[in-house]
Amino acid sequence: MKKPNVFLYLFLFFFLGCAEAPLFISPIATGITTWANGEGHKYYNEEAHSLYRSVKNSLYEMSFPIKKDEPYKKDGYYLIAGDKDKFKITIRKVKSNITEVKIRINFLGDKPYADLIYQKIDSNLNVIDFDDKGLPTKTKF
């Protein structure tokens, strides 16, 4: 097996700039929340409807009332929640089984608060509630 030429990678990195670095490092990063223009972005390897249920369940568990719940474009959802703080959440299907969840809190954004909501969404993603008979329950909201 041939070893990769480190000098070639370094030359290409410095010659092409930082924009080409992901091609050599890793084209896919999971579990990372990016922050741009006061809005948190996170990609999931799940269907949009599964994330929609998880987001609504998370908001319900955190006692945030949902003020607006409507479809977003073709395959997505748009939610506005909260009383004192206003949460704008967009769930958008990027490709099959790849979904983006955007969260903006208030006007300028609040990264730690958005990260807390993302953690709650992650914990509720694969949760199914069952009733006393062992059957899946309807959503609580």
Taking only the tens place, the pLDDT of each residue in 20-74 is 544 444 334 456 778 778 888 999 998 888 888 899 999 999 999 999 988 888 8
Counting the structural domains of the chain, the total is 1
Residue 134: inside a domain: no
pLDDT tens, position by position, 98-128: 999 999 988 777 788 888 899 999 988 877 6
Q: Which range marks the domain in which residue 99 is found?
A: 34-124
Does 119 reside within a domain?
yes
pLDDT, residue 125, reads 84
Domain contains 67? yes
Q: Quote the tokens at residue 19.
A: 């924009």
CA distance 53 to 51: 5
Establish if 114 belongs to a structural domain: yes
Q: Output the domain CATH number for residue 43.
A: 3.30.160.110
Quick: pLDDT tens for 4-17: 666 666 665 666 55
